[in-house]
Amino acid sequence: MTQTTMTQTTMTQTTMPEVTWRERQAVHAARVDPWITPRLERRRQGERHPVDDFLFDYYSWRPAQLARWHPGAGVLLTGDVVQFGDLRGYQVDDVGARVDPAALPTEVIRACLRLMEGTASRPPAYACFGRHEWAMVYRQPADAVRHASWPLRLSPDAIAEVVESTPLRCTHIDAFRFYTAEAKPLNVIQPTRSSQSDDEQPGCLHATMDLYKWCFRSYPVIGSELTADCFALAREVRAVDMRASPYDFRELGYAPIPIESPEGRAEYVEHQRDFAEHGGRLRARVIEALRAALDVSIPA
């Protein structure tokens, strides 16, 4: 690929010839298909999967959006690029196809950067032991829990004992907000949306899962391949999240991580460390791409 300087209304681009982008398009399609096809089949059958469906149910990016390949900002596609003519956020002309600088969501990019840079600046914390899911069922009747169709591994009293054993240490607003009313006062801090940039830290599983969200929220800056990298990690994180929960998902092949025991807590922290390291590398790539996008001068 070569470097091409475009007009003032665009940016310095890396040129990607058709043979290259078509190959990468095909690789991406093959990669995401095992994630997307089962999801669509379950939806047709009216079935739900508490682990694999989460990233589609909780986050707003649809399977078709995850499936469609695009290079992200800073890349000029050449050759027969007509298929990109109807892709939101892209412009196509006689030169090729590329992100339209006027389509960049600059305020969203700045907000994502502020949050991720703050997260990256802090040391990871490993003392929560994944008890957010426990706090979401704390002192609740069985038919009121979030995954009521799945059994709990422990009795309500045993769950309460785990929750009350040490102070809760959740730093993520989008986990904390699902706490039961009885559990919220037990958390050492009270995360809010306005304090999110000051609270999040890289040891948090939800902060790592959210890397996927910041990719699609800042569309079209982040290309499909990095978005898929973040989605893949989020799937791994979600599996550990549910294995460490008080639910019993062994029927689906998810062996529990019994964080009610010292051995389970040690196993959970080991996963946290691995995710923090992997997530840190992806976070750095996303930050780099967003910073580069903000350097673009968007014409009035």
**Residue 234 CA to its chain's centroid (Å):** 5
Q: Which helix (H) or strand (E) holds 136?
A: none
As a whole-number percent, the residues of the chain with pLDDT over 70 amount to 93
What is the phi/psi pair of residue 121, to 5°? -80, -10
pTM above 0.75, yes or no: yes
Confidence band for 283, pLDDT divided at 50, 70 and 90 = very high
Cβ within 8 Å of residue 60, ≥6 positions away: 216
pLDDT in tens, 180-208: 999 999 999 999 999 999 999 999 999 99
Tokens linked to 35:
């994630």
Q: With CA atoms as reference, report the closest residue to 240 among 142, 128, 144.
A: 128
pLDDT on residue 10 = 44
**Residue 191 CA to its chain's centroid (Å):** 19
- Say yes or no to pLDDT of 1 above 80: no
pLDDT on residue 12 = 63
Confidence band for 5, pLDDT divided at 50, 70 and 90 = very low
Confidence band for 2, pLDDT divided at 50, 70 and 90 = very low
Q: Please classify residue 141 by burial: count the beta carbons closer than 10 Å to its beta carbon, then call 0-12 exposed, 13-18 middle and 19+ buried.
A: exposed
Q: What CA–CA distance (Å, rounded) separates 24 from 31?
A: 10
Q: How far is CA 155 from CA 147, 161, 223, 246, 257, in A?
A: 15, 10, 45, 9, 16
Judged by average pLDDT, the poorest of 26-35, 40-49, 147-156, 170-179 is 147-156
Tokens linked to 131:
């008890």
As a whole-number percent, the residues of the chain with pLDDT over 90 amount to 87
Which of the two residues, 268 and 149, has the higher pLDDT score?
Answer: 268
Q: What CA–CA distance (Å, rounded) separates 167 from 159?
A: 14
**Residues 237 and 205 sit within 8 Å (Cβ to Cβ):** yes
pLDDT in tens, 238-261: 999 999 999 999 999 999 999 999
Q: What CA–CA distance (Å, rounded) separates 223 from 243?
A: 31
Cβ within 8 Å of residue 213, ≥6 positions away: 59
Cβ within 8 Å of residue 145, ≥6 positions away: 136, 137, 152
What does the mean pLDDT of the chain come to? 92
Confidence band for 300, pLDDT divided at 50, 70 and 90 = very low
pLDDT in tens, 19-46: 999 999 999 999 999 999 999 999 999 9
- Say yes or no to pLDDT of 11 above 60: no
Q: Which helix (H) or strand (E) holds 91?
A: strand 90-92
